[in-house]
Structure formats: structure tokens, C-alpha cells
A and B are shown apart, each in its own frame.
Chain A
Amino acid sequence: MHGRPRKAASKPEASAAKALKLRSVQSQFMSNHHRKIYTQEAIQLSAKLLAINPEAYTAWNYRKLAVEDNLSRIDDSDPSLVNSILNEELEVVAIALRRNLKSYGAWYHRKWVLSKGHCSLEKEMQLLNKYQKLDLRNFHAWNYRRFVVELTKTSPQDELQYTTDLINDVSFSNYSAWHNRSALLSSLVSKKPDGFMPKETIRRELDYVHNAIFTDEDDQSAWFYYLWLLDQTVKMETPLRTSSWPSDGSIIILSGPGCFNGSSSSKFTTFCSESASFPLILYFDQAVSGVSSSTVTIDSELQGNQDLVWEPVSDKNSQLSCVWVARLKFDSTEPCFRKENKVKVSLGKSQGIVSSRGCNLSAPFEFVFTVHIHDTVGEPQEGIVSWTDGFDNWDAQSKDLNSLITSDQLNADTGFEWRKQAIKIEIECFRDLHDSKFGKLILARLLMAEETMISDDAVKGVHYNEILQLYNDLMALNSSHDQYYKDEHSVALLHKVTSSTGMYRRMSRHLFLYRNMNNIVCLRLNNLTLSRIAAVEKFLFVQMLDLSHNELHSAEGLEAMQLLCCLNLCHNRIRSFSALDSLRHLKQLRVLDVSHNDMGGKHPVDTTRYLCSRPLSNSAEIGRQVPCKYWDAYLVLRDLKKLKQLDIIRGNDLIAGEEFSSFVRQVVPKLVWLDGHKLAS
């Protein structure tokens, strides 16, 4: 019980007497309420009850009924009569609030009374100012304040000044005031035509919050406000296209059905497609809707690609996604193969691609890539795919990475230079504070932000080592949250390791070619202690991905990899099928290894269940032929129609044996290899 000490010596006799008295008041009240008695005496009894117990919600209801009853009896053209009735209510509320300043019933009753009009709003504001000085964090008071402010039509600027006064004069440590400030500024901004927070405002607020931060480093309120401002400084309101596959200026070789065999002597990497189509992937920096054949136009010599269907790679419920895919068809028997086919993709010319906050894609954008179509040789291969044998190094000389990806730059909008400058200033300030937890965390975030803004290839990547060190420091300093810092560390590490330009150019060291599948590109990111997947927009071209021997507990982030046909997730920390939900979107997947994880073990709490597309329909759509206990496995595996090789039993706690095996064979009919054994056809 809040505020009641444990060994409270309350005399049982006194307590019993109090209880009896309250009981009798309550019974009498209930009787009046049920018999709809609204005499003065009865009303006063309800006031007595509420003074003892402001939480007796039925008494507040009763009083509302009594007020309405009284108002219906009096001559309501006489305002003083109406006022006296309503003021009586306000008095009862004030008494109740003295007993409990957090009583929902009391505050709502006041609101209900005020909604009738007639009462003095100025008095309400005065009362509020008094209450708020008593308890700066009382959210009931803040909510009521917003209600009264709306009625009085006080300007947001005046309310902003009120938060300034509270912060300056009363206390910096006032999360509620800072929160209100952020809400007011946001609503001011949303009323402006361009929707951006003006740089003068951001600068003013940054300076203001610096004051609070440098005065009391331990107070959290200012830090949270600062992080929101940082977000405002870095993020552009309008969505941007971050990456695509194929990328601008790239040349891709496509090979048709039956291509996963033999070796290719081509100088360029060949992309295999068994369906005579290839995905066109658009990756945005925030979730958008409205990507369609009317907002994205394709100009191409490949036949039959009018009116493309664009799909968001996301849950079925959502039309919003960072990743959008359409499939372009090509005909490998046509005489046009071996010819250069240019494809031009334009977006943003017509409005329609919108972020979740209603902002349109900023500027029209187009990119061009070239497609060569090669013939295929031989029969489709049924041999088992190995993750260890049959690989050649990526030959950096003969294989040009730039033919596969281009590093997209943040479009320079008119505010871009100012943003870069602002971040630079902040980095200077925070280098001095780097001994505290928040200081290090903010510096790490500032450096990541600056990293994304670097356009000079020569220095791209300069910050990653420092960022990684900061997260290592944080793990040691604040071990309660070490998994959070670990995740952030993994994100930074992945960005560093997959950089193809700049100081590191790391990615080529992790790329290999798998001979047995026509030299498809394999990216090895194993043994990196990764706890989280990130930077996927940098390696959308990869068809074979090795993430084994890491600390991943979810496949979240992989859904964008629409070209992926082989995935290795063995020796990670995946605990359930729902954690693999993202894999549903990888319709090209042929080879999947999830052995040696934590699946099927005694984990009563499934932390990825509600993130799946249909968390509660675990029995409805499955029908009788599939055992209910495998519902989450079913929902992941049934979409992987091309899966030929699956490693799952070894090293997991799943029920090995006939029941699970036959379930898998039923759901994935094309499966050839299960846990290293060839299945009887």
C-alpha cells in the first residue's frame, strides 16, 4: 500500500469503529441512490461519504444524477441558482482532492461540472497553479490543465512560457513540464505548412536544455528531452529512399530456371531466378504507404511489366513498410536475352508515397540499372548445400562491388548543412561529459548521426571505432542495461563491417562465391557476437547469408532480403518459431539452417508472439490436419514454398521423431533434405 508503513500500529478497536461508521454511511447512501432520493440531506450524506472515501465512484455518479435532478427543478434562467449548485460540486471535489490528489473520480467530476459551462475558468487556472506547485508530477492536474486551456483558448505560446517558468523557477527535474513542452512545440510545428521544426526553435531549445543537463547531470528529464531534440535535428520529416536493389548504375545478370548449378565464368555476379522474374526492392528510411504503379513508374525494355503490383514487406495488417517489393518479369527464351536491357525507375513525380505522419516523399527521384539475361545450363541441382565447402574468395579486382550497390547519400535538402553543423556543435559539447552514462550514450548517438551525414567517401566510417568503444564502456559502466548496449554495439558493428566505401571498405572481406550454385554471392557475418540484425539496406544483393555462431534471438530485419535463397542461423539464441516470423517474407528461400538454437525448450514466455502477423489465430486457420502445438512453426514454414533443405532438430529441444518430421514434410512438400538426411520421395 503506497505510503502505509509495514508495521503500522493501528488499534483494532479504533479500526473496527471506523469501519462500522463507514459501513453505515455507505448503506444509507446506497439506499438513497437506489431509491433516487436527492434531498439536501441525502446529497450531504454523499458528500460525507466522499470526504472519507473519494474512491467511492458510485457516489460521484449519484451526485451527477442529483445535480441533473436539481437543475431540472430550478429556474435555469437565473444563473446564480445554477452557479450555486455547481459550485457546491466544486467544493466537494476540492475536499476530496485534499484527501487524495490522485483521485480519478474527483478530477473527472470537476471536469464534468466545468463542461456544463457557467463556472469561472480563471478560478480553475488559479487552483491548478496551486495544485501543480504542490506536486509537479501529478498527471491528473496536467490533464485537467490541458482541458481548461482548451476551454479558455489559451495560446500554446503562453502555455510554453508556463512550462519555462516551472522549469526555471521551481525545478529542472520536471519530466511532466518537459513533456508538455515537447507536446506544445510539436503541435505548433504541425500547424505550419512545411511541418518542420524551424532551426531557430531547435537551436533555442538545445541551448535551453543544455542548461538543465549541465546543472544536474543525474536528472533524467532533461536527457530525455534532449534525445527528442536530437531526433528533430537529425531526422528529416519527409521520407527518403535509402537503398534499392538493383541499385543505380548497377549491371545485373539474370539467369532463368535451372540456374543453380555449374560454375559461371562471368566477370559479373549472376542472380539466379527460377521463376523468370526478379524483385525490385525499395528501401525507405521510414515506413511509408502508397507505393504503387501510379506513384512508381518503370521504363523498361523488358516485356510485360506494366501495372506492377507493389507489396509492402510487413504484417498483413499494415499498409506501411520501410521495404516495398515488386516483381519484374523477364523471358529467358526470348531472343532479347544477352542484350542489354535498361530499366529506369522513377518515384516521387506524383504524390502518394506518404509516411505514417502524413509527410510526402520529398523530391522526385530516379535510378537506372541494366539487366542482362543469360541462358541456363543443365538440370536443377538436388545436392545438399554446404556452408563450409565450395567457396571462393570474392576477388576484389575482377568483381566490382559498385556494380552491385551504390552508397546512397542523404538528399541534401535546404536544411542539410544546418543539421550537419548542429550535430558538430553537439558533439563538441558532449565530449566533455563523456564520463557519465547519459553522456556516453548521447555521444554515441551523435556520432552515429554524424556518420550517416558524411558524404565525403574518404572519411566515411571514421566514427565507428569510437562508437563501438563507447558501447563497450557503457556495458562495463551500467551493467543493468548491458543487453541494450550490446544491441546498439551490434548495429554499429554491422554498419562498419558492411561498409563498401570510406575508410574501411570492409564488406569485400566478408564476401564469397559459392561455386556449386553458379557462384552466387555469400556474405559471412558469423562469429561476430551479433545480438541484432541491422544495415540490411547495404547488402540487399546477397543471396546466401551466414549469420551462424552469433547471439541473435530473432530474425527481425531479414524480411527485406528478398533475394535470399540460403540462410544460416545455427548456433544463435532463437527460442521460438515466432522469432523467425520475418522469414515468411523470404519466398525464395531454399536452404535454411536453424539448428543449435534454443527452440522448443522450456520457455513459458514467448517474446515474439505478438509481433507476428496473427498472434491470436493459433487455431482458427490451421484446421484439423496440423497439430495445434506447431501453429507457430506452421505459420513460418507454409510460406516457404521453395524450401528444399532444412536443418532444425539437432541442438534444439524440439520433439525429435516422427511426429515433427511428418508435420514438416506435410507443410513443406518440396523438402528434399531434413537435418542432413535425404527424404524419401
Chain B
Amino acid sequence: MADKLEADKHVRYILMAEKKKESFESVVMDHLRMNGAYWGLTTLDLLDKLGSVSQDEVVSWVMTCQHESAGGFAGNTGHDPHVIYTLSAVQILALFDKLSILDVQKVSSYIAGLQNEDGSFSGDIWGEVDTRFSYIAICCLSILKCLDKINVEKAVDYIVSCKNLDGGFGCTPGAESHAGQIFCCVGALAITGNLHHVDKDLLGWWLCERQDYESGGLNGRPEKLPDVCYSWWVLSSLIMIDRVHWIENGKIVKFILDCQDMDNGGISDNPKDAVDIFHTYFGVAGLSLLESKNN
């Protein structure tokens, strides 16, 4: 049982994972390397070690992933563009304070062009619609300071149409509430100043019920297992609606710390499983939200 965050071990884990490009695990995730880079780099930044990577190398690789004509970014060089990777690319550049190298007009037009009649957003030209993409579009454009390129009112209307009777949000109208989708919808509403559409008490209670009494961890929806990544989705949602005091801080901190791999570094979804960059990021990010004395 761990009692503190093993920051150095996690830094080493991330730096090594970055170099291990040819393991099977890495090749099978080739297509989302942009996300992986964002998770790894943000974790390093949270742990004050962003300087351990070569900024120029990362930035020039990021730019190879931008599609010349479309303007959006792909998950890796040669793959197709998609908003998911476009957001990660912009976030990485923002981390390094290098947004100035972007053709903002081009990137923002790519995203704005994916808004549909009903206010929703498609992930790419193939038309899949999901509130994740609404959040991604709004978050990305707000970083680039051009939210005015989309119809914010309609975007908000679409998100509100995905609100469920338990106070939560799903990926499309009628879809079941899920903590990840809730984070996306609440986040988008927060950025655009529309949190009055959220029933904070109803949703706050649904979210605080994600906490597992025994392990202290959070799950993503009722009757599911706790998972470290929900430390982020659930916690930041609760923070945005000012209901985070409804869950027990100490227990979540303990759960996250218990998910660390004390030998190899990294954090996993639960204490028994293998670690990965995704959960390492969400574990560290979750801890940063909890103002843990271990930080």
C-alpha cells in the first residue's frame, strides 16, 4: 500500500515508454500517439519535468501530423485527421507555449467546418456524432481564442438535448449517462458560460455516488468497477459544478496511490492491472485536483 506519489518512478516510466516505439503494445496504439504524447507530456509538466523531453523534436513531429489541405491533425504521421488528435496537438503546442507556429485560421476552420445543422459536431468528414466532439471543438477553439467561428448557441442546444433524467449526459440524445460524457458536456457548458443548464444537485449526487465505499475509487456509471481514469472525469465535473465536497477526498487519494506500480512506475486502472500512460496521466491529474498533501 503506497502512501505517497512516486513521481520520479512515473517520470522514468513515461520517458521509457516514449522510447519503446517498437513493442507490440506501442505499435497497436500507433494511431493514437498524439493522445499518448499529450497524456505523457502533461503528466511530466504536472510533475515539473517537462524539460526532460526535447521540445523541438516533439513539436516538429506534431506538425508532421497536420493534414496539408484539411487543416486537422492525425493521431500519427500518415494517418487521417480527426478532431480528437487535433485537440491533443493544440494542447501539446500550448504546453510548450508554441501556439504561434500554428496557422490558427486553418485549424479553426477545420473544426468549425465539422459543426452540423443541429449544433452537434462530427469527429471527421465521415460524420460520427458524439458529445465528446462538442467538447473537443469548444475546448480547442477556446484555446485558440476563436470560439466565435462556431454557432455556440446551437452547440449548447445540442449538448442540452443529450441531458438525461438522472441529471447526467450521454454521447447522443437518449444515450445513457456516463462520467466521461458528463465531463465533456459539463466542460463545454462551463467554457461557454452555460452551466445554468445543469441541475447541479441532481448531477452532483449521481456523480458522488460513483465512489465505491470499500476501495474509495470512482466508477463511471452505476454498478461498474472503480477505475483511476474516473478520478479525472468525475472529479473535474464535480469541481466545475461546486459539489466536490460531496465525495471523500482521502479515500480517492488512497485509491489512486494504490494503483501505482512501485517497481516499474506508472499507474493502472486498478491495483491489479498493468499500467499505461493513459491511467498514469489521469491518476496524476486527479491528484492535482485533490490538493493532496502528497503533491
Contact = CB atoms under 8 A, between A and B. Distances in A.
Contact of A175 (B31, B221, B268): B221
Contacts of B222: 175, 220-221, 224
Contacts of B178: 139
A3 B213 contact: no
Q: Would you list the 4 A-B pairs with minimal beta carbon distance, nearest first?
A: A610-B190, A484-B246, A19-B24, A4-B274
B268 A56 contact: no
Interface string B161-173: 0001110001110
A339 interface: no
Given A2-B269, A315-B196, A480-B211, A176 B176 contact: yes
A607 B244 contact: yes
B261 A221 contact: no
Q: Which of B24, B209, B274 has the most CB of A within 10 A?
A: B24
A481 B23 CA distance: 43
Contacts of B53: none
Contacts of A572: none
B113 interface: no
B281 to A, nearest CB: 13
A380 interface: no
B79 A57 contact: yes
Contact of B223 (A58, A180, A220, A484): A220
Contact of A611 (B127, B175, B241): B241
Contact of A219 (B24, B170, B223): B223
A614 interface: yes
Interface in A460-496: 478-484, 487
Interface string A291-329: 000000000000000000000001101101000000000
Interface in A571-607: 579, 603-605, 607
Interface stretch (A22-30, A362-370, A408-416, A536-544): A22-30
Contact of A610 (B27, B170, B195, B248): B195
B101 to A, nearest CB: 23
B246 to A, nearest CB: 4
Contacts of A480: 211, 213, 216, 247-248, 251
A613 B193 contact: yes
Given A1-B275, A481-B208, A610-B241, 4 more contacts: A2-B269, A5-B272, A16-B22, A604-B288
A6 B31 contact: no
Given A15-B23, A173-B223, A314-B196, A112 B126 contact: yes
A400 B22 CA distance: 83
Interface in B170-209: 170-172, 174-178, 190-191, 193-197, 204-206, 208-209
A194 B139 CA distance: 39
B32 interface: yes
A317 B82 contact: no
Given A112-B126, A224-B166, A481-B248, A30 B78 contact: yes
B75 A57 contact: yes
A218 to B, nearest CB: 10
25 contacts: A4-B273, A15-B24, A16-B22, A22-B28, A30-B78, A55-B32, A57-B82, A58-B31, A64-B126, A104-B130, A143-B172, A179-B166, A179-B176, A180-B174, A182-B164, A221-B223, A224-B206, A224-B222, A228-B166, A317-B196, A480-B247, A482-B248, A604-B288, A607-B245, A610-B240
A58 B80 contact: yes
A228 to B, nearest CB: 5
B105 interface: no
B176 A139 contact: yes
Contact of A1 (B247, B248, B274): B274
Interface string B211-227: 10100100001111001
Contacts of A61: 80, 124, 126
Interface string B121-157: 0001011101000000000001000000000000000
A487 B172 CA distance: 32
Range of interface residues on chain B? 35 or more
Interface string A6-34: 10100000011011001100100010001
Nearest to A147: B172
Interface of B: 22-32, 74-75, 78-80, 82, 124, 126-128, 130, 142, 164-166, 170-172, 174-178, 190-191, 193-197, 204-206, 208-209, 211, 213, 216, 221-224, 227, 239-242, 244-248, 251, 261, 268-269, 272-276, 279, 288-289, 291
Contact of A484 (B22, B23, B205, B216): B205
A173 B224 CA distance: 11
A186 B175 contact: no
A611 B189 CA distance: 10
A6 B268 contact: yes
A6 B275 contact: yes
A220 B211 CA distance: 13
Contacts of A487: 246
Given A22-B24, A173-B223, A220-B222, A616 B272 contact: no
B247 A481 contact: yes
A346 interface: no
B80 to A, nearest CB: 5
Contacts of A146: 172, 174-175
Tell me the dominant secondary structure on chain B's binding face: loop
B193 A317 contact: yes
B24 to A, nearest CB: 4
Nearest to B166: A224
B22 A6 contact: no
Interface of A: 1-6, 8, 15-16, 18-19, 22-23, 26, 30, 34, 52-53, 55-58, 60-61, 64, 104, 108, 111-112, 137, 139, 142-143, 146, 173, 175-176, 179-180, 182-183, 186, 219-221, 224, 228, 287, 314-315, 317-318, 320, 356, 478-484, 487, 553-554, 556, 579, 603-605, 607-608, 610-611, 613-616
A3 B204 CA distance: 29
A351 B68 CA distance: 55
B142 A616 contact: yes
Given A607-B242, A611-B242, A6 B126 contact: no
A5 B239 CA distance: 32
Contacts of A139: 170-171, 175-176, 178
Contact of B208 (A23, A104, A484): A484
A34 B241 CA distance: 46
Given A143-B171, A183-B164, A478-B213, A605 B176 contact: no
Contacts of A318: 194, 196
Contact of B245 (A2, A64, A356, A483): A483
A227 B124 CA distance: 39
B196 A175 contact: no
Contacts of A16: 22-24
Given A480-B248, A480-B251, A554-B242, A57 B176 contact: no
Contact of A3 (B124, B211, B248, B273): B273
A123 to B, nearest CB: 22
A610 B243 CA distance: 12
A114 to B, nearest CB: 13
Nearest to B278: A1
A221 B223 CA distance: 8
Contacts of A287: 196
B165 to A, nearest CB: 5
A19 B274 contact: no
A479 B216 CA distance: 11
A56 B245 contact: no
A673 to B, nearest CB: 31
B246 A19 contact: no
Contacts of B221: 137, 175
A183 B27 contact: no
A536 to B, nearest CB: 15
Contacts of B248: 479-482
B291 A605 contact: yes
A542 B238 CA distance: 32
Contacts of A616: 142, 191, 193
Given A112-B127, A142-B176, A57 B31 contact: yes
